[in-house]
Amino acid sequence: MWPFRKAETRIATSDPYLGEFLGARWQARADIEKASGHAVAHRCISVIAENLASVPLKVYRKTEDGGREAATDHPLYSVLHDETAPGLTAFEAREMMLASALTYGNAYSKIERNGRGQVTALRPLLSPSMTVERLATGRLRYKHALPDGGTEVLLQDEVLHIRYRTKDGVLGLSPIQIAAAAFGLALAQQDQAGAAAENAFRPAGALVFPDKLATAGKEDVLAKFKARFIGTLKANEVMILDGGAKFETFQFNSKDSEFLESRKLSNLDICRVFGVPPSVAGITDDATYSNIGEESRALVQRCLAPWARRVEMAMQIALLSPEARKTFFVEHDLAGLLRGDLASRYTAYRVGREGGWLSSNEIRAFENMSKIDGGDTYVEPLNMGVLGGANDNRAKIEDAA
């Protein structure tokens, strides 16, 4: 039957990588590698990854009195606190995984265990080389593309997978792809500024001739003009125009078009995407002595704390068995990032000491000092005690005297 027609099959997908591979274009499109190299984006990623990797990450054991203690004898303690893999420090491995999750939305590490099933090492894997699929059983299977062209298949129990926001519980979404509009605009402005810098920010203009030129003549003149005067190293060349030609500049600059203000707004948008306060990312236009301290605390409470919880939960599920999770748990110590200045800390210590809930040795431990004899005792203010127990309190004071 004429005309012959083929049935068209279309597949709906929201995978940004597949769209980029097929050449799809939409209003907001940002390349992940290029966007992560943007100055503000790079700083935001570095701030989160470096700060969270620098705080202690420990395995704790639950005690019978409802407290906890560091489980230094657990094999996982050394993996998370000292050396994650042979030749790879815990700081480097955690920084790499966090940067990967912030950039690609996913971070992977291969889990190595001993004969007893205990974790002995974590080897970070490159996110672009990983493929994840859900099996019929509901479990996940990971395929790792090796540098030699081979493929390594790993099961769910063999991989530590940290995800950013996810829609299907399998793969996390990249913050850069979620906010592609903000990053696309910032990169376009960056490219525009770079193009202007190539010509030393000299304004564009027009060569005006008194007589009409042939088409070939126009192209020849334009080519010679670009070869001679366009470029940073040629910005100060002297032009000699004959035949009545004139060079007239277009008086539009970055300030008139508010280009610089637009770039500042794009930089703030990138900070909003990662949840990093502007002053922490190096944008100090509206920074003061007081609000910088508040923004530093906001970084810990609103940005680092959720990321710390995301990492902790992923590690507990992947690295500890259901039976072990009844006794052990993994947690970051963010207290060091919330410490105030010396005067504020000592004021808080005095309140705790005089209130009776801090001992001298506990205070010295906060300041990384060694214990002292008799420093484990607690004091009780004379104007505080059990209601109706004034006689008992007076007897205790007399006995102590």
| DSSP conformation class of 89 | E
Does any domain span residue 148? yes
Residue 153 is encoded by which pair of tokens? Answer: 């298949």
Residue found by looking up tokens 């299907």 in the block: 168
User: In terms of residue numbers, what domain contains 381?
Assistant: 339-401
Residues 212 and 64 in one domain: no
Residues 77 and 211 in one domain: no
Residues 58 and 187 in one domain: yes
Does any domain span residue 1? no
- At residue 366's C-alpha, the angle toward residues 330 and 337, to 5°, is 60
Does any domain span residue 343? yes
The pTM of this model reads 0.74
Residues 133 and 180 in one domain: yes
* Residues contacting 148, CB < 8 A, separation 6+: none
Residues 162 and 278 in one domain: yes
Alpha carbons 355 and 345: distance in angstroms, whole number: 15
Residues 21 and 97 in one domain: yes
Does any domain span residue 7? no
Q: Which of 336, 353, 378 is the last residue of a domain?
A: 336
Cβ burial, residue 219 (10 Å; 0-12/13-18/19+): exposed
Residues 160 and 60 in one domain: yes
Residues 299 and 170 in one domain: yes
Cβ burial, residue 109 (10 Å; 0-12/13-18/19+): buried
Residues 261 and 288 in one domain: yes
Contact indicator for 283, 267 with CB cutoff of 8 Å: yes
Q: How many CB atoms lie within 10 A of CB 331?
A: 16
Residues 211 and 289 in one domain: no
Does any domain span residue 83? yes
Alpha carbons 174 and 163: distance in angstroms, whole number: 9
Residues 325 and 359 in one domain: no
Q: Which of 318, 336, 354 is the last residue of a domain?
A: 336
Does any domain span residue 4? no
- How many structural domains compose the chain? 3
* Amino acid 395: pLDDT: 64
Does any domain span residue 351? yes
Residues 213 and 232 in one domain: yes
Task: Please report, in tens digits, the pLDDT of each residue of the chain (401 residues total).
Answer: 555 566 655 555 555 555 555 555 444 556 888 899 999 999 999 999 999 999 999 999 998 888 889 999 999 999 999 999 999 999 999 999 999 999 999 999 999 999 888 899 999 999 999 999 999 999 999 999 998 889 999 999 999 999 999 998 899 999 999 999 899 888 888 887 777 666 655 556 666 677 676 666 667 766 766 666 665 555 556 565 666 676 666 555 555 557 778 888 899 999 999 999 998 888 888 777 667 778 888 899 899 999 999 999 999 999 999 999 999 999 999 887 877 667 778 888 888 888 888 998 888 888 878 889 888 888 877 766 655 555 565 666 667 66
Residue 333 is encoded by which pair of tokens? Answer: 């110590």
